[in-house]
């Protein structure tokens, strides 16, 4: 009985370990409006680029998260963004086969390049 319990525990740990490695990493790169770098880059600890993890079970779900992360509600602070993604360490491409998922963002024209408008 003890031996079976150890095998079950080992199986659980190995499955959990594989699941823990699965992940969606989003690389954000922001372009700030002139003079707004400190505020725009605050979400990346003061840097123009950073990587953040998102929960996703598949590469497609990761792609959808990347596109959604392109939203820009600070039109007078952040001029534009690019977002690339990896799922389990492998690149996730946008619909056209490129790296920037903001190319697929439907509100791109309305929300990007609006500094001082």
38-68: pLDDT as tens digits: 999 999 999 999 999 999 999 999 999 999 9
- pLDDT at position 4 is 52
- pLDDT at position 45 is 97
- pLDDT at position 1 is 53
Please indicate whether residue 115 or residue 2 has the higher confidence score (pLDDT): 115
SS (H, E, C) the chain: CHHHHHHHHHHHHHHHHHHHHCCEEEEEEEEECCCCHHHHHHHHCCCCEEEEEECCCCHHHHHHHHHHCCCCCCCCCEEEEEEEEEECCEEECCCCCCCCHHHHCCCHHHHCCCCCC
74-114: pLDDT as tens digits: 999 999 999 999 999 999 999 999 999 999 999 999 999 99
- pLDDT at position 116 is 80
Q: Per-residue pLDDT for 5 more than 80? A: no
């Amino acid at each position: 009985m003890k031996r079976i319990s150890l095998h079950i525990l080992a199986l659980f740990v190995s499955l959990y370990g594989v699941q823990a490695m699965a992940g969606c990493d989003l690389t954000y790169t922001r372009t700030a409006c002139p003079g707004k770098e400190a505020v725009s880059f605050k979400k990346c600890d003061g840097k123009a680029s950073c990587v953040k993890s998102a929960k996703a079970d598949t590469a497609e779900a990761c792609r959808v998260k990347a596109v959604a992360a392109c939203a820009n509600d600070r039109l007078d602070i952040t001029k534009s963004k690019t977002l690339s993604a990896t799922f389990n360490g492998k690149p996730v491409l946008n619909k056209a086969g490129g790296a920037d998922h903001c190319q697929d963002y439907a509100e791109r024209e309305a929300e990007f390049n609006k500094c001082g408008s």
